């Protein structure tokens, strides 16, 4: 697992000082993820240097830097933990409660009128409460990131992160819900019981195969959108990246052979969405026979990893196994998305060096591009579900607005999430015709299929 090591280093403010520090880092074979000048005092500069290193191959680069005549290690910054101090989210009032009349209006006695109005017409809750802008982020902590079953409380920082992103990128309120429960039936009952508080349900970091049963049951039972982000959010962004990549290399996605390595929640979600989109040949590899059987029941086929790599034009990996794809397995011209975080199945630079036409990892192809706009669009449209037309609309929008040099757009660009939300809302109301995925140079008959 890769970890950030953040050093605070003081150097002399003269030519070559920083270069010598970076040379030491280079000698250890480490990558500089970020470099900031924290302050400058006359003849000295304090740098914050973020390094990326393997946890199991940790080296104390700080000692070597301190040995330089022009530098001094001041300490290690724990910026990540500092930013989590006290949590990342809070609930605030939208109204200034600064006089007695306001108190009476929003609380007793005035609030009783609104309660009675909603009692007579429950639909008014969408207008006079925050429910239609509030998403429950539900986890039992059984499949958190690439960390596995670490429990719901240990998964809370992820849920808070999701809530913060919903607030920032889609102006929605996300509420983390932690369930100390692994029985799928009890989880279904618990979520159904709290559902009246929310406009939508985001299932998060729940392990396969239980996640499939939980999502299917809740989608059938509830009249609000339910989305398992590990399946559908990841699938949307993966589809967007593949639409961009195939067009750039002059291929047609629907005619490509796609190999999906890893058939957990993300892998099954990606495979299902690709087949629904019209990809005719999806091959899956997984050690779990039940996972392979699930893909086959959906219309895909299975193979061992070496055979999959030989047959696939496009490879998507979601296994959580660092270095699973060996460089010699890469075929000339393949498109490879190694999406496991924090460590991919193969580094993009390695895949490209061994002949891949395109390669990317989960740092750039991240489901944060999908779920904010999906929920915002669904809630704005008053949708009761998030269907394939809405997922296609999100993916196609991301592909269309991606910069020429990137597979997907910038995840922090608010206009991107606004565009996704608008496309999703339109699809929710009217359905969505898929655009044709012909390469640009052959796109003389572009339109609906």
Q: What is the pLDDT of residues 33-64, one digit of tens each?
A: 888 888 887 788 888 888 877 766 566 788 88
Q: What is the distance, to the nearest Å, from the Cα of residue 345 to the centroid of all Cα atoms in its chain?
A: 17
Does 439 score more than 80 pLDDT? no
Residues 143, 265 contacting (CB under 8 angstroms)? yes
Q: Among 328, 323, 333, 317, which residue's Cα sits nearest to residue 365?
A: 317
> Cα angle vertex 30, ends 26, 31, to 5°?
100
Query: What does the pLDDT read at residue 146?
Result: 72
Confidence of residue 448 (pLDDT cuts 50, 70, 90): very low
Whether 230-449 and 130-224 are alike in CATH topology: the answer is: yes
Per-residue pLDDT, averaged over 199-218, amounts to: 95
Query: What does the pLDDT read at residue 437?
Result: 56
- Active-site positions read 107, 162
Does 133 score more than 90 pLDDT? yes
User: Considering only the top CATH level, what class is 230-449?
Assistant: alpha beta
Query: What does the pLDDT read at residue 445?
Result: 42
Confidence of residue 266 (pLDDT cuts 50, 70, 90): very high
Query: What does the pLDDT read at residue 436?
Result: 54
Query: What does the pLDDT read at residue 56?
Result: 60
Helix 210-221 with 265-277: angle, nearest 10 deg: 60
Query: What does the pLDDT read at residue 220?
Result: 96
Residues 73, 31 contacting (CB under 8 angstroms)? no
Q: Where are the domains of the chain?
A: 2-84, 130-224, 230-449
The structure tokens listed for 216 are: 């299917």
Does 224 score more than 80 pLDDT? yes
Does 135 score more than 70 pLDDT? yes
pTM assigned to the model: 0.83
β-strands 44-54, 2-12 pairing: antiparallel
Give the tens place of pLDDT for each residue, 207-216: 989 999 999 9
Block residue for tokens 């052959």: 442
Give the tens place of pLDDT for each residue, 277-320: 999 999 999 999 999 999 999 999 999 999 999 999 999 999 98
Q: What element of type H or E holds 48?
A: strand 44-54
The count of other CB atoms within 10 Å of the CB of residue 353 is: 12
Per-residue pLDDT, averaged over 3-27, amounts to: 86
Does 402 score more than 50 pLDDT? yes
Query: Backbone dihedral region of 205: left (phi > 0), alpha (psi from -120 to 50 degrees) or beta?
Result: left
- For domain 2-84, the CATH superfamily is ACT domain (3.30.70.260)
> Cα angle vertex 347, ends 79, 246, to 5°?
115
Confidence of residue 271 (pLDDT cuts 50, 70, 90): very high
β-strands 200-203, 358-361 pairing: unpaired
State the CATH architecture for 130-224. Answer: 3-Layer(aba) Sandwich (3.40)
Confidence of residue 183 (pLDDT cuts 50, 70, 90): very high
Per-residue pLDDT, averaged over 415-430, amounts to: 95
Query: What does the pLDDT read at residue 267?
Result: 95
Phi, psi of 261 (to 5 degrees): -95, 115
Per-residue pLDDT, averaged over 395-406, amounts to: 92
Per-residue pLDDT, averaged over 410-429, amounts to: 95
DSSP string covering 200-233: EEEE-S--TTHHHHHHHHHHHH-SS-EEEHHHHH
Q: Over the range 260-274, which residues count as b (16 or more CB within 10 Å of their CB) and which as e?
A: bbbbbbbbbbbbbbb
Residues 6 or more apart whose Cβ sits within 8 Å of residue 260: 267, 270, 271, 274, 282, 283, 284, 285, 295, 300, 316, 317, 318
Give the tens place of pLDDT for each residue, 364-393: 788 899 999 999 999 999 999 999 999 999
Query: What does the pLDDT read at residue 440?
Result: 46
Query: What does the pLDDT read at residue 1?
Result: 62
- Residue 178 CA to residue 176 CA, distance in Å, equals 6
Give the tens place of pLDDT for each residue, 67-90: 888 888 888 777 778 788 888 988
Query: What does the pLDDT read at residue 57?
Result: 56
What mean pLDDT, rounded, does the chain reach?
A: 90
- Residue 200 CA to residue 351 CA, distance in Å, equals 39
Q: What is the distance, to the nearest Å, from the Cα of residue 343 to the centroid of all Cα atoms in its chain?
A: 15
The three-state secondary structure class of 34 is: strand
High-pLDDT (> 90) share of the chain, %: 65
């Amino acid at each position: 697992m890769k970890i950030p090591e953040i050093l605070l280093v003081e150097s002399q403010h003269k030519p070559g000082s920083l270069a010598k520090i970076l040379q030491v880092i280079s000698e250890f074979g480490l990558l500089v993820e970020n470099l900031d000048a924290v302050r400058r005092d006359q003849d000295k500069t304090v740098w914050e240097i973020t390094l990326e290193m393997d946890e199991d191959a940790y080296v104390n680069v700080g000692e070597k830097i301190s040995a330089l005549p022009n530098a001094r290690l001041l300490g290690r910054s724990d910026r990540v933990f500092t930013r989590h101090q006290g949590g990342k989210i809070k609930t605030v009032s939208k109204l200034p409660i600064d006089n007695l009349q306001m108190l009476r209006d929003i609380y007793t006695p005035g609030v009783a009128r609104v309660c009675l109005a909603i009692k007579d017409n429950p639909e008014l809750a969408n207008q006079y409460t925050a429910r239609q802008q509030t998403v429950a982020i539900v986890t039992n902590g059984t499949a958190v990131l690439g960390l596995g079953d670490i429990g719901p409380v240990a998964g809370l920082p992820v849920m808070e992160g999701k809530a913060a992103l919903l607030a920032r990128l889609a102006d929605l309120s996300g509420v983390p819900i932690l369930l100390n429960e692994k029985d799928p039936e009890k989880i279904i009952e618990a979520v159904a019981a709290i559902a009246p508080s929310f406009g939508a349900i985001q299932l998060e970091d729940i392990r396969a195969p239980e996640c499939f049963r939980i999502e299917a049951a809740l989608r059938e039972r509830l009249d609000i959108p339910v989305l398992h982000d590990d399946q559908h959010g990841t699938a949307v962004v993966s589809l967007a990246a593949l639409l961009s990549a195939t067009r750039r290399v002059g291929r047609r996605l629907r005619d490509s052979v796609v190999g999906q390595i890893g058939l957990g929640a993300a892998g099954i979600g990606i495979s299902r969405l690709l087949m629904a989109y019209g990809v005719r040949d999806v091959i899956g590899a997984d050690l779990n026979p039940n996972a392979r059987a699930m893909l086959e029941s959906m219309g895909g086929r299975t193979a061992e990893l070496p055979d999959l790599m030989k047959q696939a034009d496009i490879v998507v990996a979601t296994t959580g196994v660092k270095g699973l794809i060996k460089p010699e397995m890469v075929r000339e011209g393949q498109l490879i998305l190694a999406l496991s975080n924090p460590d991919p199945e193969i580094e993009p630079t390695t895949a490209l060096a061994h002949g891949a036409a395109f390669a990317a990892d989960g740092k750039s192809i991240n489901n944060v591009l999908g779920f904010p706009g999906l929920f915002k669009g669904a809630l704005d449209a008053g949708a009761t579900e998030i269907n394939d037309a809405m997922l296609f609309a999100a993916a196609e929008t991301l592909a269309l607005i991606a910069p020429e040099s990137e597979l997907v757009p910038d995840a922090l660009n608010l206009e991107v999430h606004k565009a996704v939300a608008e496309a999703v809302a339109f699809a929710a109301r009217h359905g969505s015709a898929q655009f044709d995925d012909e390469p640009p140079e052959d796109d003389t008959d572009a339109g609906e299929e």
